Amino acid sequence: MLTERHKEIANRLRGPYRPPQYRLVMLPMVVLRRLDWVLGPTKDAVLAEHARLIAAGTPENAIPRLLTRIVDANRTQPLYNTSAFTFAKLLDDSENIAPNLVAYINGFSDTARAIFEKFKFSDQIEKLDSSNRLYAIVQAMADPTVDLHPDRIDNIQMGYLFEHLVMKFNEQANEEAGDHFTPREVIRLMTHLVYTGEEDVYKPGIYREIYDPACGTGGMLSVSEETIRAQNDRAQLGLYGQEYNDESWAICCSDMLIKDEETDHIVLGDTLGDGKTFDGFQGKQFHYMLANPPFGVEWKDQHKVVGKEASELGFSGRFGAGLPAINDGSLLFLQHMISKMHPSPEQGGEGSKIAIIFNGSPLFSGDAGSGPSNIRRWIIENDWLDAIIALPDQLFYNTGIFTYVWLVTNRKRPERRGKVQLIDGTRLFQKMKKSLNNKRNELSEAHIARLTELYGNFTDGERETVQIDGQAESRVVSRIFDNHAFGFLKVTVERPLRLNLEATPERIARLDEQKAFENLAVSKKRKDAKAAEAEEAAGRKEQQRIRDTCTTLEKNGRYMDREVFEADLDRAAKRFGARLPAPIKKAIFAALGERDPQAEICQDSKGRPEPDSELRDTENIPLPAGTVLPLPMNFGPDMPNDDLVDTMRGDIDAYIAAEVLPHVPDAWVDYAKTKVGYEVPINRHFYVYKPPRPLDAIEADIAGLEREIAGLLKGLVA
């Protein structure tokens, strides 16, 4: 019935509002109507008690607690309404619908009023009233068939409702939707995964705290609570979240308020920190954390705060391992969550477990030694990465890309220690009967159960029958790897510079393109024009002396040894009185030299081969089995590699001897540039090679198409 009503309301909003703005009215209206249903049965009793308390001179600070008891004797969070209005009664006075609706909202307890303040609903009431639409919209929402009582529509269903409303209105305007919502079946999968193997959470009376740093409308928290209470109705749960969007925060708080949860535990503000708002739970730790942070989103607004914390606090803060590229801040959220883990059992704590959704970028973005690579390195070398589950594409409302659930914990079970499990769930989905924006696929309960089972089984090589191009195939969907399997050494391979040098007019003319040579005739005396002119004139004379010096070498032809050329150049420079400091010599070599594999190797001042930057290459060498890297628990991006290079030098030399030197015998490794990197190429580990079709089959298809085209052309000619 609400679907029909939202269409009716949308039609009435057209004009004063554009479709993406419909939510400004619909979302607070739905919340208001839901609260109206919750408080309706006790409305008269609350009004009578409120009048009695006022008449008795009851202290103002005691009234909220006493009125809340009338609504529900077991409630702890204040929720009531002391105005004379309900949705139905608002319709009795059409002339004063706007002030009466404002009075109705102001009659709520403080927390509920704060929710509508964040919706900025008073602005919309004024706008609707001035456009003569307010009464009709209240009338549509007051219909008894619009039943939003929690007994009929639970909090999970309300999440779907809010998603549907936002998506529907944005879809009408052909604008991006779903910015703040995660499909509920994806959340159910995450909760099933994160609580698998967690025996303590199912002990009667256990207290556990759950946190979502990008909580949106609170789906992760609500589904977590539902999942745990389904098997342990005596669990004591603390739900915590932070959200930067006012509307999403308001929806989440209304959900928490109706469920009698601590609304103070839902903080409004930017979790990473934007200079105005910061981490709302600084210094606090949580047992479980779940999140779907913004991915593929720039974090320029947070860069100043995050960068300052990273540089000043290091691992005493949240971002000690490194910073990701500015165009995707999702790894910042994972570091933030890791900073809120309880100490591990080995450290005398309870430990924590995290489930977080990413796109593909955090798996492999960033070169060895970069921020993203160092973050992965820090997580894996501390043995916190438990599993990664690849999900199907087209699961989300606002993007069709593949996504991945990372499970991170500092309390791995014994059999999982030192290991990472990869699960390929990309083929486990069903097509939706009707797509919602980019969401065309969904996870059934059977798919969720199977993915959870794969994680729980922790079996390398476990298979599943999946559909590939319409055909059923048995594929490996679970792989187990040692931690070191994702690490590699990025080794810089140098080759010697070999130059022939010749003082031809064409090459001498190239001197003018060399910056050091050009600067000889550029004055630094900007305030004294006369002195500057004299300095530039002297510089031009010096340039000419250098040209003349080089010209005298033309008769010597082509040099195949730079050392011989340099000796002749020095002698010629003395005759012409030319000065040849190192930058000028370098400019001459660059202008008069050309790379020549037949030339002698150029050497530096210490007699060592000089590397050719154009021939420089890198090799990524996998860390060998059984590698134990000599690293501290906490390290930064500038950590020296001396210990690492010493430990792995034999492996590097063996690799270069086998893979590089047979092809380029003059190559060598610059060990000072060796860096360690980590990436998780999950797709590579599940790739199955399919040989191309036989040539005769392809030729037969082409011949068939040619005959078909010829037939069509013949028909056109006829």
Amino acid 633: pLDDT = 44
Q: How much is the mean pLDDT over the chain?
A: 89
Please state the rounded mean pLDDT for residues 651-672: 94
Amino acid type, 185: E
The owner of tokens 């390195």 is 377
Please state the rounded mean pLDDT for residues 695-702: 89
Give, in order, the Cα–Cα distances in Å from 187 to each of 49, 152, 171, 194, 225.
42, 22, 23, 10, 12
The string over 565-586, giving b where at least 16 C-beta atoms fall within 10 Å of a residue's C-beta and e elsewhere, is bbebbeebbeeeebebeeebee
Helix axes 445-457, 184-194, angle to 10 degrees: 20
Query: Over 50: is that where the pLDDT of 615 sits?
Result: yes
The owner of tokens 């020549």 is 596
> What DSSP character marks residue 99?
H
- Tell me the pLDDT band of 177, cut-offs 50, 70 and 90: very low
Query: Over 50: is that where the pLDDT of 178 sits?
Result: no
Query: Over 80: is that where the pLDDT of 394 sits?
Result: yes
Amino acid 175: pLDDT = 44
Taking only the tens place, the pLDDT of each residue in 424-479 is: 999 999 999 988 778 899 999 999 999 999 999 999 999 999 888 778 889 999 99
Which sequence spans correspond to the domains of the chain?
2-153, 496-595
Of the candidates 315, 312, 241, 302, the residue with the CA atom closest to the CA atom of residue 275: 302
CB 168 within 8 A of CB 9: no
Residue that wins the pLDDT comparison between 178 and 74: 74
Query: Over 70: is that where the pLDDT of 131 sits?
Result: yes
Amino acid 468: pLDDT = 82
Amino acid 531: pLDDT = 87
Question: What percentage of the chain exceeds 90 in pLDDT?
Answer: 69
Query: Over 70: is that where the pLDDT of 167 sits?
Result: no
By 3-state DSSP, what share of the chain in percent is helix, strand and coil, each rounded to 5? 50, 15, 35
Amino acid 173: pLDDT = 42
- Tell me the pLDDT band of 71, cut-offs 50, 70 and 90: very high
Model-level pTM? 0.87
Q: What is the dihedral of CA 444, 447, 448, 454, to 10 degrees?
A: 180
Amino acid 176: pLDDT = 44
The owner of tokens 């989300």 is 396
Strand partners, 699: none
- Tell me the pLDDT band of 637, cut-offs 50, 70 and 90: very low
Taking only the tens place, the pLDDT of each residue in 333-348 is: 999 999 999 999 999 9
The string over 212-247, giving b where at least 16 C-beta atoms fall within 10 Å of a residue's C-beta and e elsewhere, is bbbbbbbbbbbbbbebbeeebeebebebbbbbbbeb
Of the candidates 333, 312, 332, 308, the residue with the CA atom closest to the CA atom of residue 322: 332
Query: Over 70: is that where the pLDDT of 34 sits?
Result: yes
Least confident of 403-412, 430-439, 480-489, 678-687: 430-439
Question: What percentage of the chain exceeds 70 in pLDDT?
Answer: 92
Of the candidates 237, 285, 279, the residue with the CA atom closest to the CA atom of residue 259: 237
Query: Over 60: is that where the pLDDT of 389 sits?
Result: yes
Three-point CA angle 672, 677, 683, nearest 5°: 150
State phi, psi for 148 to the nearest 5 degrees: -110, 20
Amino acid 212: pLDDT = 98
Please state the rounded mean pLDDT for residues 300-316: 93
Residue that wins the pLDDT comparison between 446 and 635: 446
Please state the rounded mean pLDDT for residues 214-223: 90
Least confident of 54-68, 146-160, 187-201: 146-160
Taking only the tens place, the pLDDT of each residue in 519-529 is: 999 887 777 88
- Tell me the pLDDT band of 692, cut-offs 50, 70 and 90: confident
Query: Over 80: is that where the pLDDT of 286 sits?
Result: yes
Amino acid type, 216: G
How far is it, in rounded angstroms, from Cα 341 to Cα 211?
11
Amino acid type, 98: A
Query: Over 70: is that where the pLDDT of 317 sits?
Result: yes
Most confident residue range from 6-15, 269-278, 527-536, 588-597: 588-597
Q: Which two tokens stand for residue 76?
A: 């702890």
- DSSP states along 140-157: HHT-TT----TTTS-HHH
β-strand pairing of 419-424 with 385-390:
parallel
